[in-house]
Structure 1
Amino acid sequence: MDTGEVCRACEELIADRRALRRDVAARLSTHSTGLAAPAGPGDTRKGMFEALLKQEFTAQEARRAVLRERAAEERAARDAAVAARQAQVEAAAAARREAPCQECGRRMEADVCGICICWKAVEMAAAETGDLVRATWTVPTAPAAREWAADQAAAEVRTEAEQAANRGRAQGATEETSACMAKLAAELTAWERQQSALAPLAQDARADAEATAAFETEMRRTHLHPSTDDARRAARAAAQAARKRAAEHLVAAALADGRERRRETPQSEEPDPYRLGAARVRARMHRPGSSAA
């Protein structure tokens, strides 16, 4: 399409053709053409130039054809490898869909069914709430009381989840929906606990250090404010914001440490029979033909 602008492809093609003509002219001037000597007075230098140019152009096109063929073969090989990998992924996904849930034995479309995913999220929220209580415990000489408080906080999350699931069942919701309601209730309770933990963590020594540093930094910029009082107000605001950020960081660090500890804790090879039994009961509830209505 003629846009009136310089075409980069055409420029490169013209440059290649000019380079070829220069190379042919150089070879002709040194008599290293590889062609037979002129057979008679009718053969001119121009004729030899055109013949050699044609020969070189044909050789270049042959080399390009080989490269194009090789590139096409490589592309076909890559496409075949991608198709084979995709087939493997689809076969594995189909096998997972045919396999039962690893938690409760229910038929599903992933390694764990949706019901068990929600209840596992409840357990995660409960565990993280317990971790947060341990991180904010202020009496280091009472480890037993700390563990009791952590267990009570985790139990509160589980209780909220069970109550939400029971409300869903009472309203005629499916077990999948009830499990989702339990998950949302557990996550909300855990979030509220996290927000409550910000206040004590904001008084932590680490938060104090961050607030002090922010205050001093802002006070060194007094010249940017209309008055000293304005600078102090800005410094107090910066210190308060730094204290809040430090508390949020301490909450996130406590949750991350708890997850790491649970990951490092060796899991028993024998599954918890109570947990498996509860999962199977939840999976059977509201199932067509089940006696639990």
Structure 2
Amino acid sequence: MTVFDGGAGPLRGEKPDLLLTGVESGTAAASTLQAWRASSGGPPPVWAQVPKGLERVLEPVAMVWGRLDRLTTRRYVTKVVRARLGEISGACGPQVDAERILRERLKRRFAEQGSMPVTDPVGWLVGRALPRRALCPDGRCDDGRRMDTRADCAACQLLVLDGRALRSRAFAKAATALAGGRVDRPVFEAELNACWQSEASAAAVRREQAVRERHARERVWMEQRARYAAQEAARLALACTVCGKPETAGLCGRCRDERRVEELVAEAVDVAVAAWGMGGEADRLDVVRRTERDMRGAVDQAVRDLLAVGGDVFAEAVALAARLASELHLGALQRRAVNLFAYQSAAQAEYKQVFATEMRRSHLHDSLDDAREAAEEAAQAARFNAAHAVLNDRLRTVRAARASAEADTEPDWYAYSAARVRSLIRPPAPEHAVCVRRTSPLAGRTPGDGRTLAVVGA
């Protein structure tokens, strides 16, 4: 084969640009500049440099980037490049090298361009080189391969298999329609087109159904959000049930803190009774009285210290100081109770058992001192865990006993109402009085009062 004007340039059909894909960016830029000088007699008027930090990514397309002669254009394309890097990191995870993936994508796009010149560098970079191309909905797929693992995309392979199955089904239908088993190409293409049309219509129906379902879910969500917003607005508009302050969601901060102080005092009393008041009734009453006195004394002292600072002190600040003091005192009381149970028989047995168990694994440590230190740490943790368990068990016992006592002290309204009805139907003898165990709001009503019957009927 004779080559005419061999020194002028590449032959028709060759792809000289493919040779630049494996060359470094500096070499590609230098060769491009030399080619430009050879053809035009001088350097280009503007040769844009690759932006800092993106040299590795834009290395395959450095010669295309060099033709971006405007600063605003370069800034726009740089923003698109960084957006594509963020898209890759979001789809594949932060552990994947997004710069490597985008660099390989640009290499493939530049190789596909071949010998065809890039007439519009901005449009080619933004619209063809940088975007991800995928037929499947998987965000990690690019050109039929996974960006993170470089393996073939399973979703794309399924689409390919679906297409093959569709062609096989069309071929079978065309073969059964014709006699002799010979299928003509026009008949096969017509049957394949019909199958494609059927699949497309079914897919359109499924998409419309999915859109309707999504719109229905969005309507339900909007209704729920509107209902929740209305309920929240109504709740926030409620006045305080204690002091009457408006728009406090039923309880203002001051009243909430004051109520919390009373709850913390009751909890401290339970902890003290569980720790030191299980001996008898006298011990329990003494512990309750002393704990409540100490707790309220700490709260009063905190309030006095706040007021002693001077200036105008809000009532909310006073209530907050009281709550914080109550929490601190309760925490100290709980630590004292845990320390008390930590050196009793149950916690000591747990300590010894865990220490012995850890020492049997002393061969896992470098020295005997390290093994003993680790065993001591594990045994101390087991000791205090056992102490917490003992305290929680006693607290459950105390609260269960108090709940049963409160249930016993409540009046039996059903029995009382039944007795009142029986007295109305058949009055007792004068010498026998109706005995009521405890006073109630119904005690002052007359037997003929109609409200008594309403209570009974309820």
TM-score bucket (shorter structure): 0.7 to 0.9
- Contact persistence 2:264–2:327 (CA under 8 A): yes
Q: CA deviation at 1:55?
A: 1.0
- Which residue number in structure 1 is paired with residue 111 of structure 2? none
Q: Which has the higher helix share?
A: 1
Q: How does 1:247-262 map to 2 (within 5 A)?
A: 247-254=387-394
Give the paired residue count. 258
1:124 pairs with 253, 259, 263, which one? Answer: 263
Map Cα deviations across residues 212-232 of structure 1 (whole Å, 9 max, x no partner). 211331343355567878766
- Return the letter of the residue paired with 1:29: A
With CA pairs under 8 Å and 6+ residues apart, which has the higher RCO, 1 or 2? 1
Q: CA RMSD in A?
A: 3.3
- Which residue number in structure 2 is paired with residue 160 of structure 1? 298
Give yes or no for the alignment of 1:175 onto 2:315.
yes
Question: CA, structure 1 residues 231+81, in 2 after alignment: closer, same or farther (shift >3 Å)?
Answer: closer
Q: CA deviation at 1:64?
A: 1.0
- Which residue number in structure 2 is paired with residue 12 of structure 1? 158
- Contact persistence 2:269–2:288 (CA under 8 A): yes
- Which residue number in structure 1 is paired with residue 172 of structure 2? 26
Q: How does 1:1-293 map to 2 (within 5 A)?
A: 1-2=132-133, 3=142, 5=145, 6-31=152-177, 45-137=184-276, 140=279, 142-169=280-307, 171=310, 172-224=312-364, 235-254=375-394
- Return the letter of the residue paired with 1:157: M
Q: More deviation in 248-257 or 190-199?
A: 248-257
Map Cα deviations across residues 223-259 of structure 1 (whole Å, 9 max, x no partner). 5567878766665554333222222333455556667
Q: More deviation in 259-268 or 127-136?
A: 259-268
Same amino acid, percent of matched pairs: 35
Q: CA deviation at 1:191?
A: 0.7
What's the TM-score once normalised by structure 2's chain length? Answer: 0.50
Separation in 1, partners of 2:402, 2:192: 75
Q: More deviation in 3-12 or 113-122?
A: 3-12
Q: More deviation in 77-86 or 101-110?
A: 101-110
- Which residue number in structure 2 is paired with residue 278 of structure 1? none
- Return the letter of the residue paired with 2:288: A
Question: CA, structure 1 residues 95+262, in 2 after alignment: closer, same or farther (shift >3 Å)?
Answer: farther
- Which residue number in structure 1 is paired with residue 15 of structure 2? none
- Return the letter of the residue paired with 1:19: A
Separation in 1, partners of 2:292, 2:161: 75
Q: More deviation in 66-75 or 257-266?
A: 257-266
- Contact persistence 1:169–1:175 (CA under 8 A): no
Q: CA deviation at 1:138?
A: 6.2
Structure of larger gyration radius: 2
- Return the letter of the residue paired with 1:112: L
- Return the letter of the residue paired with 1:192: A
Separation in 2, partners of 1:198, 1:158: 22
Map Cα deviations across residues 94-145 of structure 1 (whole Å, 9 max, x no partner). 11122112333222432322112212221222112111111112662x2232
Separation in 2, partners of 1:252, 1:9: 55
Map Cα deviations across residues 135-189 of structure 1 (whole Å, 9 max, x no partner). 112662x223213312431342233224423443553222222211111111011
Gap regions ≥5 residues in structure 1: 38-43, 269-293
Separation in 1, partners of 2:236, 2:366: 68
Separation in 1, partners of 2:277, 2:286: 14
- Contact persistence 2:273–2:398 (CA under 8 A): no
Separation in 1, partners of 2:232, 2:298: 35
Helix, strand or coil for the counterpart of 2:351? helix
Question: CA, structure 1 residues 167+153, in 2 after alignment: closer, same or farther (shift >3 Å)?
Answer: same
Question: CA, structure 1 residues 263+16, in 2 after alignment: closer, same or farther (shift >3 Å)?
Answer: farther
- Return the letter of the residue paired with 1:52: E
Question: CA, structure 1 residues 192+63, in 2 after alignment: closer, same or farther (shift >3 Å)?
Answer: same
Question: CA, structure 1 residues 78+230, in 2 after alignment: closer, same or farther (shift >3 Å)?
Answer: closer
Separation in 1, partners of 2:338, 2:331: 11
Question: CA, structure 1 residues 99+241, in 2 after alignment: closer, same or farther (shift >3 Å)?
Answer: closer
Separation in 1, partners of 2:160, 2:402: 67
Separation in 1, partners of 2:166, 2:274: 76
- Contact persistence 1:122–1:157 (CA under 8 A): no
Map Cα deviations across residues 236-293 of structure 1 (whole Å, 9 max, x no partner). 554333222222333455556667777886699xxxxxxxxxxxxxxxxxxxxxxxxx
Map Cα deviations across residues 63-106 of structure 1 (whole Å, 9 max, x no partner). 11111111111111111111111111111111112211233322
